Amino acid sequence: MSLEQFKNRNVGTQNYVKLDLDHTPTSGWCQFKQVVKRTFKPELFVGLWVTLREMINALFRGKMHTTQYPFEKLPISPRYRAIHDMLRLLESGHYRCIGCGLCEKICIANCITMETRYDENQRKEVSEYTINFGRCIFCGYCAEVCPELAIVHGQRYETASEQRASFSLFEDMLTPIDQLNLQQEYQGFGAVSPNADENIKKTPLAY
Amino acid sequence: METATMLPEVTAAGVIIKAVLILAVIAAIAGFGTYIERKVLAFMQRRLGPQHVGPFGLLQLAADGIKLFTKEDIIPQHANKIIFAVAPVITAATAFIALAAVPVFPDFTIPLLDIYVPSIASDVNVGILFVLGMMAAGLYGPLLAGMAQANKWGIIGSARTAIQFLSYEVVTGLSILAPIMMVGSLSFVDFNNYQADGTWIVVYQPVAFVLFLIAGYAETNRTPFDLLEHEAEIVSGYVTEYSGMRWGLFFIGEYANMITIGVIASIVFLGGYNDFWIFPGWLMIIAKIAFSFFFMLWVRAAWPHIRPDQLMWLCWKVLMPLAVVNVVITGIVMMIVG
């Protein structure tokens, strides 16, 4: 599903029919004519036909409108902001997070907690990372500020659970290593724009 | 039951079997009707309707029954307890008593016991009068229910019952008077035999047929005239304070009345249980009743409610004069032709 489909806010068919309203009757004769016209106009049967047509459409032409929700789900926009995902580098499989702490700093709900340390190669390593989803307002600032596109918003919107902890640990949000080939780039807030390559310029070093 | 002996081979056992049959089958169909109604309305709105309990949601009926039977039976503190308890029974009972004089299924003989089961439990010679009178007596159900429950919505509901049922009783009577004049009898069997040549009375009396349908919908409290318990205006009208099986009785009565109206329309106007082309009579009458039932649901899906003042306007300024004119014209034509 492409983004454009979600950007179109004009949901209807746009085939509006303007009502052709008659003038209010002025004399008794006009009123009588209106009553006769309304009496013998087959408008009631138009209503009957419309409902019957919809029934035929639903039953025999596969136009049933119901989505049987727990069994089938509607596609949601790739920009939807649900439970976070932690992405991995496609080449090495290592998590992308560099432990810079920007998401923790920018989080306006103060729900991100992270602890980092230097590993044996003197690289930053994330030793503790949790998001308190009782506080998170899903504003998307963390995904926007992340320089590595490491923390993004995912598509898991069914967040009813017995324990907050079933979502909020780093390992739970991290892409499973065996599903690395299925990892999707996030299209939303903070993502690289589609024409990013054209916008790359050499860093001006004239000064 | 004495009049039932007019047919020679009818015995008391046959009549009792017939009565039990009517009670069991119509009560079951009335319950099943709620399922059909929900399904048909759902399809017309491109929804699925009940479908999780049993195959195609067929057991939804059982689930509803269990719910109704096990629900707490609440009688409000300031209600008149006796009348409150009796009112639903009046609705259900009158609906079933009305079915006693209506030919519902074809007659048959139980093979081994050799008991003849007639098509009518009681073939009174004033059948139409009896049925219409019984349905009119059914107005006491909603009326007393609304007045007994010490609830303002109930009071409004019962007031609407009084005006709607009483007014449309006039239209029912006058509209069905014209076919009665043509046939010259009040017995359903005579109506059926009158149309045995294949010409339905609706051909001669289209206006009376339409008037009877409109009035019938008003008397069975069906949607274009569903003002007694109009949810958008008066919570639930006369059933506001009812719960559990007492509430369920009102609906069994309403659906039984819908079937009765279907039967009357089929027999009086649509050719009754006569054979039609290659179709046997029993199939024809079932098809006609089923279509009449379906048409009630169809109308409910298609047409909006009307206001109480529009209801009265329609009854007294349009339908009643039309019915009178129809009766007069029928009389004049009968005088000239016959």
Coil, helix or strand for B243? coil
- Backbone φ and ψ of B37, nearest 5°: -60, -45
- Cα distances from B89 to residues A25, A61, B170, B214, B332, in angstroms, run 50, 44, 25, 26, 44
Residue of chain A with shortest Cα separation from B51: A68
Residue of chain B with shortest Cα separation from A44: B303
A52 touches chain B (CB under 8 A): yes
Q: Do B44 and A47 touch (CB under 8 A)?
A: no
- Of A130, A83, A136, nearest in space to A107 by CA: A136
Query: For B114, which DSSP code?
Result: T
CA dist B203 and B223 (Å) reads 27
pLDDT at residue B325, rounded to an integer: 93
Count CB-CB contacts under 10 A for residue A113.
Answer: 13
B86 touches chain A (CB under 8 A): no
- Cα distances from B197 to residues B53, B75, B268, B288, in angstroms, run 46, 55, 14, 18
Q: Do B302 and A47 touch (CB under 8 A)?
A: yes
A48 touches chain B (CB under 8 A): yes
B70 touches chain A (CB under 8 A): no
Q: Do B303 and A44 touch (CB under 8 A)?
A: yes
pLDDT at residue B181, rounded to an integer: 87
- Backbone φ and ψ of A113, nearest 5°: -125, 125
Q: Do B301 and A66 touch (CB under 8 A)?
A: no
Helix (H) or strand (E) holding B94: helix B81-100
CA dist A76 and A36 (Å) reads 52
Domain boundaries defined on chain B: 75-106+123-337
Which positions ≥6 away from B240 have C-beta within 8 Å?
Answer: B149, B151, B153, B154, B157, B234
The dihedral through the CA atoms of B262, B263, B269, B274 has a sign that is positive
pTM of structure: 0.75
Min Cα separation A13/chain B (Å): 18
- Cα distances from B189 to residues B18, B86, B94, B257, B285, in angstroms, run 17, 34, 22, 20, 13
- Backbone φ and ψ of A152, nearest 5°: -135, 170
A67 touches chain B (CB under 8 A): no
CA dist A105 and B309 (Å) reads 66
Q: Mind listing the pLDDT tens digit for each residue in B265-318?
A: 888 888 777 777 777 767 787 888 888 889 989 998 888 888 888 888 888 988
- Cα distances from A199 to residues A150, A202, A207, B37, in angstroms, run 22, 10, 22, 62
CA dist A9 and A30 (Å) reads 44
Residue of chain B with shortest Cα separation from A45: B302
CB < 8 Å to A64, chain B: 46-48
pLDDT at residue B321, rounded to an integer: 92
Task: Give the pLDDT of chain A (207 residues) as one tens digit per residue.
Answer: 566 666 666 666 667 778 777 778 888 898 888 888 877 888 888 888 989 998 888 888 888 888 888 888 888 877 788 888 888 888 888 888 888 889 999 999 998 989 999 988 888 888 888 888 888 898 888 988 888 888 888 888 887 878 766 677 788 888 888 888 888 777 776 677 777 788 888 777 766
Residue of chain B with shortest Cα separation from A36: B318
B43 touches chain A (CB under 8 A): yes
Q: Give residues 284 to 323 of B whose Cβ lies within 8 Å of A.
A: 298-299, 301-303
Please answer whether residues B64 and B117 qualify as being in contact, where contact means their C-beta atoms are separated by less than 8 angstroms: no
pLDDT at residue B108, rounded to an integer: 66
Q: Which of B37, B39, B45 would you mutate first to test chain A, the one with the most A CBs within 10 A?
A: B45
State the CATH class of domain A84-191.
alpha beta
Coil, helix or strand for B116? strand
- Of B116, B100, B127, nearest in space to B20 by CA: B100
pLDDT at residue B324, rounded to an integer: 92
pLDDT at residue A4, rounded to an integer: 63
Please answer whether residues B209 and B169 qualify as being in contact, where contact means their C-beta atoms are separated by less than 8 angstroms: no
Residue of chain A with shortest Cα separation from B49: A66
Query: For B106, which DSSP code?
Result: -
For chains A and B, CB pairs below 8 A equal 40
- Write a three-state SS string for A80-141: CCCCEEECECCCCCCECCCCCCHHHHHCCCCCEEEEEEECCCCCEEEEEEEECCCCCCCCCH
Between CA B102 and CA B112, with CA B108 as vertex, the angle to 5 degrees is 140
Residue of chain A with shortest Cα separation from B295: A48
pLDDT at residue B328, rounded to an integer: 92
CB < 8 Å to B302, chain A: 44, 47-48, 50-51
Please answer whether residues B74 and B151 qualify as being in contact, where contact means their C-beta atoms are separated by less than 8 angstroms: no
Q: Which of A36, A40, A55 would you mutate first to test chain B, the one with the most B CBs within 10 A?
A: A55
Min Cα separation B302/chain A (Å): 5
| Residue ranges of chain B with per-residue pLDDT less than 50 | 1-8
Residue B30 tokens, joined: 């009335």
CB < 8 Å to B43, chain A: 54-55, 58-59
Q: Do B48 and A66 touch (CB under 8 A)?
A: yes
Residue A52 tokens, joined: 């019957």
What is the per-residue DSSP string for A142-171?
Answer: HHHH-TTS-EEE-S------S-THHHHBHH
Half-sphere exposure of A62 (CA within 13 A, CB side): 0
Residue A186 zone, left/alpha/beta (φ > 0; ψ -120 to 50; rest): beta
A36 touches chain B (CB under 8 A): no
Please answer whether residues B95 and B260 qualify as being in contact, where contact means their C-beta atoms are separated by less than 8 angstroms: yes
Residue of chain B with shortest Cα separation from A39: B318
